[in-house]
Structure 1
Amino acid sequence: MATQHPVLALDIGGTKLAVAMVTRDGRTHGLLVEPTEKHRGPDAVVSHLFDLGRRSIAAAGLGAPAAVGISCGGPLDAAAGILTGPLHLPGWIDVPIVAMASEAFGVPAVVENDATAAVLAEHRFGAARGADIALYLTLSTGVGGGSIIDGRLHRGAAGNGGEFGHLTVRPGGRQCECGRRGCLEAYASGTNIAERAQELLADGTRESSLRGMPLVRAEHVSTAAAAGDPFAREVWDDTTALLGQAVTDLVNVFEPNVVVLGGGVTRAGAMLLDPVREIVQQTAMPPAAARVDVTLAGLGDEVCVVGAGALALDLADDLALDPKGPARV
């Protein structure tokens, strides 16, 4: 029996918090987005998150939620409902986010890796709808991944599978937050695109329109590259080449129907998508290259919120069928 009540969706990002009420059609209501301010620590950020949740419930005007869904980068223990140590949230060690949310809102709650939640959202409501095998990469503060295999979410043996951002694309390269060197995340996340540009400008020998900016962001790099800045173009081309390499490897391994790219970096649109798609078509194994569609997220910036909502809707449905214990999708 499917619940007709809306659910509350909470997304904890390294840069922003996003909350909304989500209805069964995947639509968001009362969407609120505010900075994470992660330097304040988990207690302050979680308090802020729950306050946003209460404000969203009031703004949506749909009544109380049936459940709460939470998306956050890993590592996390979804079965136990604990954020064990998200890489994008330093100092968040063993935060019992599900118990905290359930107590705050008086309803059951569930947590999942943000990219896993996102691939569920895209499979149910967006660009991967109906695909038998779908991969999702989020290019944001970090680089996360999620997958649908045989029409179902793939989580891995311990629930943290799909860390596509930690594929090695440049052995011995830049230091990654995970402790290794040369990970995709160290080159293709919004944070690291900006850091690479700043590092290369620091020696004072490179001319660029980015020089002198107080804070360079990834969007500045893509905009300058599109405007013909040779330095910015060099950084951007290196980014898309490494991302294309990683997506090609994933296509060769999984042979998916679709690879969906989401997150803030994808606001660059065709400037990101076209070179990545071209690399995949030219370098992936022929059977896989011919079948895969590389595309941008259909749900845009709301994908993780909708994904958290989808998880909460499934939780509410499971509890309606069996109040003693929900099954995971």
Structure 2
Amino acid sequence: MKQEYYLGIDIGGTKCAVIAGTENMEILERIQFDTNTNKGPDYAISKLLEIATAVVKQLNDYELISIGISCGGPLDSKTGIVQSPPNLPGWDNIPICGLLKYKFNVPVFLQNDANACALAEWKFGAGKGTDNMIFLTFGTGLGAGLILDGKLYAGTNDLAGEIGHIRLDEDGPEAYGKKGSFEGFCSGAGIARMAQAMVIEKLEKGESVSFCESIETVRNITTKDVAMAAAEGDETAIAAFEKSAKYLGIGLSILIDVLNPQRIVIGSVYARNPHLFDAVCNSVIEKEALEPAWKVCEIVPAELGDKVGDFASLSVAIDGISRTN
């Protein structure tokens, strides 16, 4: 009897990857290439089909069960169509699942990247053992994947978990075209912008900032610069992270009160720097959220790190087939 395996397709604005793996996340093959969005969707789709075909041929002694695709939204997971993601110009209403199903004659499943990562962390990472878990991306932007009552909840049209759009303050950094949004306070881009504004204010007063010497170089400040400066005790950098931590606490309090999760798993910027968030964030939650709800909710860093993209697309394949059986 042939050993079963799954195919994961990870589609990103910079890179794409084809991953073959088992149900236990033993990676059998992985091939990555540059998306080259300037060449249009046909280039990347042709490469994905070509590489997937070669991988399936190579694993002829195994049995392919299903294919999972992780891609930035918007998308329609029910029809398997990618609908014009901002990071994939020209990918307008691409029937990606249909193309792969026609080629390989196995079930194909599609989820946005936050949902796919939520599945991966739930099954194989920091969310293991929970029935109600929230995963927050906290990378360049802020999105969430929701595991409720032991299954992924995507919403009516795949827009569940768009927490970055929630306005937490009438004033504040802009994201989603909305001032004071959750993403504006709690994302890599948001922290960098808050730090830049604080640095400009200090420099205009004639005060020095350790990680930026002049107003001309303010726009070059990255979240990594701010985190390194905060770790070294720079007051401006610490203040930027404390502001982000405050609003992270406010946003998580809303999620805790509404969804009553067992665990909130947070990736990227938070996962690399939990010590810069926890004290302020937790103190806000204890004031804002219902006590019986926050007391049963753990807030933890994501565990999968660089493996999350591979595990995410494979998890979509595994979860999808489990729901159809």
TM-score, structure 1 length as denominator? Answer: 0.81
Residue pair 1:126, 1:299 contacting (<8 A) in 2 also? yes
Q: Read off the aligned partner of 1:209 and give its amino acid letter.
A: S
Match of 1:191 in 2: 189
Give the Å deviation of 1:290: 1.0
> Are 2:162 and 1:163 equivalent residues in the alignment?
yes
3-state secondary structure, aligned to 1:10 = strand
Unaligned runs of 5+ in 1: 319-325
Give the Å deviation of 1:244: 1.7
Match of 1:323 in 2: none
C-alpha spacing 1:209/1:285, structure 2 compared with 1 (3 Å): same
Distance 2:39 2:322 in 1: 36
- Deviation per CA, 1:58-83, whole angstroms, max 9, x where unpaired? 99998574322111232210011112
Match of 1:322 in 2: none
* Range that drifts further, 297-306 or 285-294: 297-306
Give the Å deviation of 1:247: 0.8
Structure 1 residues 165-314: aligned runs within 5 Å: 165-176=164-175, 178-198=176-196, 200-201=198-199, 205=204, 207-211=208-212, 212=217, 215-263=220-268, 265-314=270-319
- Deviation per CA, 1:139-163, whole angstroms, max 9, x where unpaired? 1122111112111221212232111
* Range that drifts further, 237-246 or 277-286: 277-286
Match of 1:139 in 2: 138
C-alpha spacing 1:247/1:88, structure 2 compared with 1 (3 Å): farther
Distance 2:127 2:7 in 1: 23
- Runs of 4+ that moved beyond 6 A: 54-62
Distance 2:294 2:93 in 1: 41
Structure 1 residues 66-81: aligned runs within 5 Å: 66-81=65-80
Unaligned runs of 5+ in 2: none
Distance 1:96 1:305 in 2: 22
Give the Å deviation of 1:314: 3.8
Q: Read off the aligned partner of 2:97 and give its amino acid letter.
A: V
- Deviation per CA, 1:94-129, whole angstroms, max 9, x where unpaired? 222223344565643211022212222222222222
Identical pairs, percent:
32
Larger radius of gyration: 2
Distance 2:83 2:107 in 1: 20
Distance 1:62 1:284 in 2: 53
Residue pair 1:142, 1:185 contacting (<8 A) in 2 also? yes
Give the Å deviation of 1:233: 1.8
Residue pair 2:173, 2:194 contacting (<8 A) in 1 also? no
Give the Å deviation of 1:184: 1.4
